[in-house]
């Protein structure tokens, strides 16, 4: 059976913890590989290796660091098909979706190639007599990226792209469910010219995460995962004096106004709710039609479009989405569907019990649609993270605005309308971090920044964009005065009072 090793010091590294995790093929339900799980000693050794390598990388000038990222981008594009197939085989998403996963990560690599411009500091000439003041951005040292299963290519690149461009060394701890693509990234970085040890990939579970959070050589941690774990990572990391950005769960809402383009809205909702089997934090699992007429129209338009959705294995080019990532996650989603029924919502389309001929062991969940969901329902409050769309009806825009604003999560939200003032009011007042206006999945482009509010994000910094540059660097300010070279120049008396720039 294939064994997935760590990638440390520029080479495949066999662990010695004696612990392994199974890597499944979600299309069949069969174990296809096993992955090493690092213990504390292994993680500490990998961090020490990164510390040693980072010093030389930080001393490399910014444009040369950018050239490595340029070459890495070229290599990813060269190997796109191979990487997408590998990603799909472990995650289950269809190949086209895997290519999108990789491409959105590459956009941050492209942004990172231009980071030398953002590393320029400020300079003041003549701040005092013969005194100049300037500032510079310097890397933190060694940082850690802890990434989730649902975007095994995009989110690692979101993190290590900016961290490497700013001169840091990186420990990447990918999800143990689909770890192969991150290892390939390590290999391609070496091919691109990155010095050995600057990017180390170490697999593991909670033991490895705790080792990261407790190691004093890790200066910052970037995390994406569930909210409970994000809160834990933030609390333990900051208690150990680290910078932490920890992105959590989501329950994104789509508000549909009576004047919305209904055909376009339905198409957007079906794609955003069920694409990638709903396993993305920017999915739209809740739709909020404003007014009974809008709700009834939307419901009748959604039902036939949902019926057209085709499930298939990840290599099926005609499939809209594939299996979910694991048997446990499939069971969890189906438990939430039953919870919704028990809570009194109307189950309009039931996706349970779907079976694909020839792949009966695969982790497939059919598209599911609820109407008349109450905001008090637990299935509405929780993140289901599957192909389940819930309709919560609102009487007016004020009520529709209140639903996402009062929800425990505040990652993304969308409004569908032709009314500019209504959209403007909504965007200005909704208590959510990322807003789409007639855009179903409002993930900002790489040169902006990604981050939610409330239990969707812990910490004061968002991911990528200029915020990412600030997160992975610290400011050093220098005040300088050069003595006169004239041996006969008068010596200024000592001063014991601030300020001294006389």
Q: What is the pLDDT of residues 160-175, one digit of tens each?
A: 999 999 999 999 999 9
3 state DSSP class of 401 = helix
- Peptide bond preceding 499 in cis form (omega within 30 of 0): yes
Q: Residue 189: its pLDDT value, please?
A: 98
3 state DSSP class of 338 = helix
Tally of residues, the chain: 502
Give residue 289's pLDDT band: very low, low, confident or very high (50, 70, 90). Answer: very high
Whether pLDDT at 27 is above 90: yes
Half-sphere exposure of 482 (CA within 13 A, CB side): 6
Directed axis angle between helix 95-113 and helix 154-165, to 10°?
10
Give residue 129's pLDDT band: very low, low, confident or very high (50, 70, 90). Answer: confident
Give residue 444's pLDDT band: very low, low, confident or very high (50, 70, 90). Answer: confident
Q: Residue 449: its pLDDT value, please?
A: 86
Give residue 495's pLDDT band: very low, low, confident or very high (50, 70, 90). Answer: low
Choosing from 113, 146, 163, 281, which is the catalytic residue?
281
Whether pLDDT at 337 is above 80: yes
Q: Regarding the domain delimited by 253-437, which CATH topology (the fold level of the hierarchy) does it fall under?
A: Aldehyde Dehydrogenase; Chain A, domain 2 (3.40.309)
- List the structure tokens of 357: 């001929």
Give the pLDDT mean for 318-324: 96
465's CB contacts (< 8 A; 6+ apart) are: 111, 444, 446, 447, 448, 449, 450
- List the structure tokens of 8: 């440390």
Contact 452, 433 (CB under 8 A): yes
* Catalytic residue status for 113: no
Q: Residue 497: its pLDDT value, please?
A: 67
> What values do phi and psi take at 441, rounded to 5?
-125, 90
Label residue 465 left, alpha or beta by phi (over 0 means left) and psi (-120 to 50 means alpha). Answer: left
Directed axis angle between helix 420-429 and helix 397-406, to 10°?
30
Give residue 484's pLDDT band: very low, low, confident or very high (50, 70, 90). Answer: confident
Query: Angle 327-329-334 (CA atoms, 0-180°, nearest 5)?
Result: 95
Q: Residue 483: its pLDDT value, please?
A: 81
Look over the chain and give the mean of its residue pLDDT values, rounded to a whole number: 95
- List the structure tokens of 23: 């890597």
CATH 3.10.20.90 fits 2-248+456-477, yes or no: no
Give the pLDDT mean for 324-351: 97
Give residue 490's pLDDT band: very low, low, confident or very high (50, 70, 90). Answer: low
88's CB contacts (< 8 A; 6+ apart) are: 94, 95, 97, 98, 314, 315, 322
Q: Residue 320: its pLDDT value, please?
A: 96
365's CB contacts (< 8 A; 6+ apart) are: 277, 323, 324, 330, 333, 334, 351, 352, 354, 386, 387
Give residue 130's pLDDT band: very low, low, confident or very high (50, 70, 90). Answer: confident
Domains of the chain by residue range:
2-248+456-477, 253-437
Q: Model confidence over 242-284: pLDDT tens digits?
A: 999 999 999 999 999 999 999 999 999 999 999 999 999 999 9
Whether pLDDT at 404 is above 90: yes
Give residue 446's pLDDT band: very low, low, confident or very high (50, 70, 90). Answer: confident
């Amino acid at each position: 059976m294939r064994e997935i090793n760590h990638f440390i010091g520029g080479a495949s590294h066999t662990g010695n913890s004696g612990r392994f995790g199974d890597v499944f093929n979600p299309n069949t339900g069969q174990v296809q590989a096993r992955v090493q799980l690092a213990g504390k000693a292994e993680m500490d050794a990998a961090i020490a290796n990164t510390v040693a390598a980072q010093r030389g990388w930080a001393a490399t000038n910014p444009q040369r660091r950018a050239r490595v990222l340029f070459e890495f981008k070229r290599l990813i594009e060269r190997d796109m098909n191979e990487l997408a197939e590998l990603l799909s085989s472990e995650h289950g998403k269809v190949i086209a979706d895997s290519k999108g996963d990789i491409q959105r990560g590459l956009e941050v690599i492209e942004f990172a190639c231009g980071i030398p411009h953002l590393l320029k500091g400020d300079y003041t000439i003549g701040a005092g007599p013969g005194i100049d003041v300037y500032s510079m951005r310097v890397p933190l040292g060694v940082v850690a990226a802890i990434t989730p299963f649902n975007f095994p290519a995009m989110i690692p690149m979101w993190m290590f792209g900016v961290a490497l461009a700013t001169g840091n060394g990186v420990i990447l701890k990918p999800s143990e469910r689909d770890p192969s693509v991150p290892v390939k990234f390590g290999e391609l970085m070496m091919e691109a010219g990155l010095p050995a040890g600057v990017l180390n990939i170490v697999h593991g579970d909670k033991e490895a995460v705790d080792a990261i959070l407790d190691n004093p050589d890790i200066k910052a941690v970037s995390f994406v995962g569930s909210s409970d774990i994000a809160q834990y990572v933030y609390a333990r990391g900051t208690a150990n004096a680290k910078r932490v950005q920890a992105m959590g769960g989501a329950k994104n809402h789509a508000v549909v106004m009576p004047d919305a383009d209904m055909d376009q809205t339905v198409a957007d909702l079906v794609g955003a709710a069920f694409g990638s089997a709903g396993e993305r934090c920017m999915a739209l699992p809740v739709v909020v039609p404003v007014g009974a007429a809008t709700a009834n129209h939307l419901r009748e338009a959604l039902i036939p479009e949902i019926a057209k959705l085709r499930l298939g294995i990840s290599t099926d080019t005609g499939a809209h989405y594939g299996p979910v990532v694991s048997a446990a996650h499939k069971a969890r989603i189906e438990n939430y569907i039953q919870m919704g029924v028990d809570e009194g919502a109307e189950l309009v389309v039931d996706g349970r019990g779907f079976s694909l001929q020839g792949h009966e062991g695969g982790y497939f969940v059919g598209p599911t649609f609820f109407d008349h969901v109450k905001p008090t329902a637990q299935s509405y409050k929780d993140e289901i993270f599957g192909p389940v769309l819930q309709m919560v009806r609102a009487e007016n825009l004020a009520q529709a605005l209140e639903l996402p604003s009062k929800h425990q999560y505040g990652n993304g939200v969308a409004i569908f309308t032709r009314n500019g003032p209504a959209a403007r009011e909504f965007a200005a007042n909704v208590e959510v971090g990322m807003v789409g206006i007639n855009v179903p999945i409002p993930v900002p482009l790489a040169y902006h920044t990604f981050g939610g509010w409330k239990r969707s994000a812990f910490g004061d910094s968002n991911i990528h964009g200029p915020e990412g540059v600030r997160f992975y660097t610290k400011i050093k300010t220098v005040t300088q005065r050069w003595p006169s070279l004239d041996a006969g120049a008068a010596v200024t008396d000592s001063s014991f009072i601030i300020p001294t720039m006389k």
